[in-house]
Chain A
Amino acid sequence: MRTHRTAFAIAAALSMVVAACSSTSTDQQSSASSEPSSQQSASSEQSSASGSESAASSSEGSSETASGEPTFTGEPLKIGFLDTMTGPNGNVGTLNLQGAQIAVDQWNAKGGVLGRKIELVVKDEELSPEKTVQHMRDFNSEGINLITGFTSSADVLAAKPLAEQNNMVIVTAGTTDTSLTTTEHSANVYEIAANIKMMNVAAAHLAETDWKDVKVWDGVNYDYLTGHNSWDEFNKMIKSGTSGSTTGKVAFVPFTATQMTPFINSLLAGNPDPKTSGLYYFLFGGGAVQFAKQAMPLDMFKDYAVVAAVGGGEEFSAALGAEGPHVYFVHDYFYQGYDNPVNKQFIEDWSKLDQIPGLSLYGPHEWAYEGYTAMLAYLNAITDAGSTDSDAVKASLSKIEFDSPMGKVKFHPSNILEAPVTVWECQGDSAEKFGYKCFNTQSIPPSITLADAPTSF
């Protein structure tokens, strides 16, 4: 009996340790991921126009060895990367990191920044404000003052007081809650992703221009603060618009819901008209796929002339493959929409990476774009400031204009990136390589989406 108990204790402990490794692995991989992968290295060593003009100028402080590889002066520059890397939303952080690493590799291949090699120090905040605070303290004690990453706006709100207290800078990659650039604005926090307000303005704009036939908009949203706020905002814009359309049935789906049919039935109870009804779809990740899976046999998507997925992305179509419905995605970036050297190089470097298991994409995901652009913002600001000092970097972030995959961009006075919102369409197609195709990309400029954003605080 004693040996049995000992054996069980060891087995259980091993189970716990191995499983726990899956959530702490990103901390351990931080040093590994701060080094370019072999493929990333290969790509970054190629002579290219990547990293924009600033990337080229950044090499001024460094020199090259006989083999052509850059040498660096001084200590490596460590930039903190804090994001949700595991769990249900771990794919967001993983893709944010993928983009950030591409930027780091591109710049390191050109000599780093201020002659210093750039390294990412990756920590997993596990979508927890408590973990976020703990890791922010760790970064501060490690002397790391420039932080990027972030998927959850709530985690940024948790990190904000520490950033202000210790004069650390945060450039968020994937956060979208409008409050971060309005009521919760901070001089220490900058945002790359289009926020909910910008995406809703873009969707409402299209409702007036391209989707004029839709007279009633139903909605399905996640049941949380941003889900309710987002629907309220869209509802207000639709009703105050000039198209004469209005809103109808709405369902709020808990994150943990496994049974979607009752929510689908509640929407179908409004008898949507396939010619004049639209569906506002504010779901993302696994929940968006699950809802669609259970809606498809009931022909729900055929009952709507337009399905507008606000904040959703290509991972939805990738998961559904050939049976995926026709959806308009309203988000910050889609790789097909922009023809410029930075975007071309971003796509080229992304295409050389290993594919993420289970994610069949034709081009870099918007979450990778967000991580990439957040790093470009930092690296251009550091180059402009000639320093990594927090105050100098903040001053530069607020005034510089830099090249991004969506063209020249700068930060709005509210500290959110003045970049277009992109709208594109995807649909299942069994003839395509991954079982779906995307097409018809268009940009809604910041002059529309940020027209009434606050400019003073």
Chain B
Amino acid sequence: MLGSIFAGIADGFLLFLIASGLTLIFGVMRILNFSHGGYFMLGAYFAYQVVTSAGFSPLPLGFFIVAVLIGSVGVGAVGIATERLLFRRIYELSDIASLLGTFGLLLLIEGIAEVIWGINPMSVPFPTLVDKSVKVVGVRVATYSIVLIGVGILVGIGLWYLLRRTAFGERARAVAEDRYMCELVGMNTAAVSTAVFAIGTMLAGLGGALATPLVALTPDVATAFIIEAFAVVIVGGLGSISGSLIAALVFGVVDSLAITYVPSLSGVSFFILMFVVLLVRPQGLVKNARAFA
């Protein structure tokens, strides 16, 4: 039981890293960004490229951290470019148009990755110091899971601080509340949007880079994670960071327990939970999502 709960929490925090960027972008831009999974996948491939280019065996933890940072920042740069070239033109279009546009972008990113890296599964080795397991209350726990939990907590605190305690956070919340009014008072909403998009995509890149030791890296890894991330964002309350955190942890733990104790529900427990939550609370777990609650 304890092992399953711990595994679920670690999975939940990885999911939170992806979902937080997604919900952040939705909060400010009102766009359901289907291409978010593509940024996750790019972060993973960037980190893979850095690690394999160096050719370390075993992989030092310090260098892995560098690869993760490069992956995350690199994806942020790609995010800025795509926001300026494509997303700026989507903001005022209908939801259907933006969904189709971002889905098209996801397919484009997947196609490019297929051309560059191929479709065969690749992997990044676990870095030293976090490649083993430890016993926690008699349960075998992967040290890398503890790293994921730690990073997830740090990202959660960092986002809370950024949005609640800084001038940038105030501006971002203001744009999320009323973009038109912000423009009337002379705020550069385009710059705020670009910055928020960069942060959101960096979080996706961070999630992807951190996931590399755990996943088989293929271009379609984007699709697998984005579906779960969307479920988390919807259940958490569109635009809510804290809602995404709660939803990701609940999803992770429930899915883990379901697989362990009711194996026949594996793969569907996630969606059953989403269905139940939306039935009871169609607005999501957290209210007032627009203000990044």
Which A residues are closer than 8 A to B by beta carbons?
1, 4-5, 7-8, 11-13, 15-16, 18-22, 86-88, 90-91, 94, 223, 251-254, 256-259, 261-263, 265-266, 268-269, 285-290, 293-294, 296-299, 315, 318-323, 356-359, 430, 435
Contacts and interface: CB of A to CB of B under 8 A. Distances in A.
Interface in B121-156: 121-123, 125-126, 131-133, 140, 142-145
Nearest to B261: A266
A314 to B, nearest CB: 11
B225 interface: yes
30 contacts: A4-B89, A7-B89, A8-B93, A15-B101, A22-B107, A223-B266, A252-B266, A254-B267, A259-B7, A259-B11, A261-B7, A261-B142, A262-B8, A266-B260, A266-B263, A285-B121, A289-B121, A289-B216, A290-B214, A290-B215, A296-B131, A297-B143, A297-B144, A298-B133, A315-B120, A319-B120, A357-B117, A357-B118, A358-B120, A358-B122
A23 B8 CA distance: 35
B177 interface: no
B256 A262 contact: yes
B57 A88 contact: no
B120 to A, nearest CB: 4
Contact of A16 (B86, B104, B126): B104
Contacts of B143: 297
Contacts of B132: 297, 299
B3 A265 contact: yes
A336 B45 CA distance: 32
B215 A293 contact: yes
A315 to B, nearest CB: 6
Q: Which 9 A-B pairs have the closest CB atoms?
A: A19-B107, A357-B118, A15-B104, A254-B267, A289-B216, A22-B111, A262-B259, A286-B216, A297-B142
A416 B93 CA distance: 57
A99 to B, nearest CB: 16
Given A256-B224, A358-B118, 10 more contacts: A1-B92, A13-B104, A22-B107, A86-B114, A262-B260, A290-B121, A321-B57, A357-B118, A357-B120, A358-B120
Contact of B108 (A4, A8, A18): A18
A265 B221 CA distance: 23
Nearest to B118: A357
Interface in B37-91: 57-58, 85-86, 89-90
A20 B107 CA distance: 8
Contacts, number: 182
A251 B263 contact: yes
Contacts of A18: 108, 111
B8 to A, nearest CB: 7
Contacts of A320: 123
Contacts of A13: 104
A299 B120 contact: no
B118 A359 contact: yes
Contacts of A359: 118, 120
Nearest to A253: B266
Contact of A256 (B58, B97, B107, B267): B267
A20 B114 CA distance: 12
